[in-house]
Amino acid sequence: MDYLESLNENQRGAVLQTEGPVMIIAGAGSGKTRVLTYRLAHLIQNGVDAFNILSLTFTNRAAKEMQHRIQTLVGGEAKNIWMGTFHSVFSRILRTEAEKIGYPSNFTIYDTDDSRSLIKTILNEVQLDDKTYKPSVVHNRISAAKNRLITAEAYLKNAHYMADDAAAGKPEMGRLYKLYQDRCKKAGAMDFDDLLFNTFKLFNEHIDVLNKYQNRFKYVMVDEFQDTNIAQYMITRKLAAQNRNICVVGDDAQSIYAFRGADIQNILNFEKDYPELKVFKLEQNYRSSQTIVEAANSIIKKNKAQLPKNVWTANDQGNPIDLIHAGSDNEEGKSIANAIFEAKMQHQLKHSDFAILYRTNSQSRAFEESLRSLNLPYEVVGGVSFYQRKEIKDLLAYFRLMMNPNDEQSLRRIINYPKRGIGDTTVGKLFITADEQGASIWDVMSHAASAGIPVKTAQVIMDFVTMLEAGKVIANNQDAYEAASDMAKKSGLLRELYDDKTVEGIARYENVQQLLNGVKAFVDDPEKEDKGLGAFLQEISLLTDADSKKPGDKDYITLMTIHSAKGLEFKYVYVVGMEEDLFPSAMMLNSRADLEEERRLFYVAVTRAETHLTLSHANTRYRFGKLIDCKRSRFIDEIDQSYIKQIIGKGSLNRNIVQTTPKEPFTRTAVKNLAPPAAKTKIKYVPPTDFKASDTSVLASGMKVEHPKFGFGMVKLVDSNGSDRKAIIDFEELGEKTLILSFAKLRIH
């Protein structure tokens, strides 16, 4: 019981209350993961069989980290907890039970690209314009229906949905939903939403299966409960109905995924479903300074839809929040980059201590350019993931087709890649024949000559079928690496990439080798019981962007959207683009619910900061190729202004500060003249004929220097870290410049 001594009173209460429905409201930085870990360990130490515990998370990484922590407390028994994401746990159940709802146990899991590619194929077949019915829009509409547990049949019968679609100029949406579902089922495939939708269907239609899992999962715990959608909540409620030992953990103030179907009402109304509910509030913040915590409180209190709580901290008061007012988005980028450069040098910090957070990915450009100009290493989170690269998806399509020969999307992708003489006309004829005969595409391909395909082409198709069938035999008898490496060679894909000696071709070949290395690592992992190719495919199909790697693992400055930053923390956080119609987004101003979601997003951004928080906004910004005037965000004004320090212009956090009479706890700043100071008249500097550069190894802040082009200036800071020493110099006529000293010619005066 020693671990209980490290908990505060509310944390301990949440750990000890193991029976009945429990809701843990966990404020930002309140030690939620520790409480979850200790609660699970406490259940096991008090005689609960780990096999009877279900713990649901939103990322595989979070599940692995938690399982590792529990293992340090209770040993190997922690491995027996059913722990993972909703999608991974439910896909595990469906692999066992899928045949009861008409799917094969080796069903393929379609990612977003697969789903949208199938929708595009269907649009072509039914001759609907893909500009009117954009595949992404159709997919989102289908996804939203599934998350609300609405079948295609129910959708078509719902007059409200039909009227909405007609008003939007998309009256065929319901038919597309039905066609899409039928094609997925025929291909033996489920998309991500189906993993939830079909689990609910399974439990709803097969009470014996539901009872089986109710008896198995005597204790159900759900992390990040504020992010659950209707389907996720309904499934967990069914699972917990018999024992009622359900514990949900979350923070309504951090509910920011409505666009993915998350329903904040799940946490706000949880008590209505469980009148005997025990509620524990984790209100002490261990992460951030008092300034940041109190500023965040002043923001979120503006929301009406929330569970009352009083987040506080015993940490130091900390620094005021810096507010940078820039003339343009490019100037904003320079201001932030210079601020990071100064802070890093002054306090000897790592690059990974810094994060720049923005509302949309398109905002990263100005910051990337400014960071590059200062040679500051950075990483943009949310680019093309490894498993979305073409060459990786191509090889994975071969693997998927080996395991599920009815997978239409994989077949279309690689039937003629590398080129083997099976053209689009032939592929179309194969699918038409399959439809006419009510047969699977694989059966038709296996008898291609009977489908009216020319003899030579029919033989090529037969060779393709034979290759994949031979691959499946190897996959059924060998581990994943043996099967994968064999197919990579026999398919011709490795040779195709190897022969491309362009820079891009070499990179693609190396990526495929990296995939095969990943398969080998999977096989060599002693914790993996099933080392087959099917198990490997299932694992990678359930990876999310958040599982690729944790920002901050390497010494880079992190650039990311605020949505991607949830659950992370950094010493220095810069929330940029704080302007009306950007943050809050113009698309989120139509209702109070939308605006409150944006405010929660701002709250999440602010509470990522441990010691230093900077906000920034610009007068002008390029958007969609046009220069627009910007108005600063209402969210800035919602913060108690006594916590804010105003900064004007680009550059140092120690210059151009507008202040008025001191007010506790910080200097409150006047917002009288936020226009950048007028530019000085530039006089061309002419260097003396006897100019001779000095030895800059002795250069230090405070020294006066002369540059043959920029004239006279004062050294502000010298960065001695890394191979290239740099200096920030404030030149009399040109202002601040950052120079690499190995290149700069400076005369010290």
Annotated catalytic residues are: 32-33, 223-224, 254, 608
Q: Of 249, 131, 311, which is closest to residue 567 (Cα–Cα)? A: 249
CA distance 667 to 405: 69
- Reported residue count of the chain is 749
Q: Of 547, 604, 640, 667, which is closest to residue 287 (Cα–Cα)? A: 604
Helices (H), 98-229: 112-125, 135-147, 152-157, 159-167, 173-186, 192-205, 207-216
Dihedral angle computed from the Cα positions of residues 513, 514, 516 and 520, in that order, rounded to the nearest 10 degrees = 130
Residue-by-residue DSSP string for 273-288 = H-TT-EEEEE-B-SSS
Residue-by-residue DSSP string for 410-456 = HHHHHTTSS--S--HHHHHHHHHHHHHHT--HHHHHHTGGGGT--HH
CA distance 377 to 558: 9
Instruction: Report the largest interatomic distance among the alpha carbons of the chain, rounded to a whole angstrom.
Output: 95
Dihedral angle computed from the Cα positions of residues 281, 286, 289 and 290, in that order, rounded to the nearest 10 degrees = 30
Element holding 590 (H helix, E strand): none
Instruction: Assess contact for 566 and 254: CB atoms under 8 A.
Output: yes
CA distance 389 to 392: 5
Dihedral angle computed from the Cα positions of residues 392, 395, 397 and 398, in that order, rounded to the nearest 10 degrees = -170
Helices (H), 274-389: 290-300, 329-347, 364-373
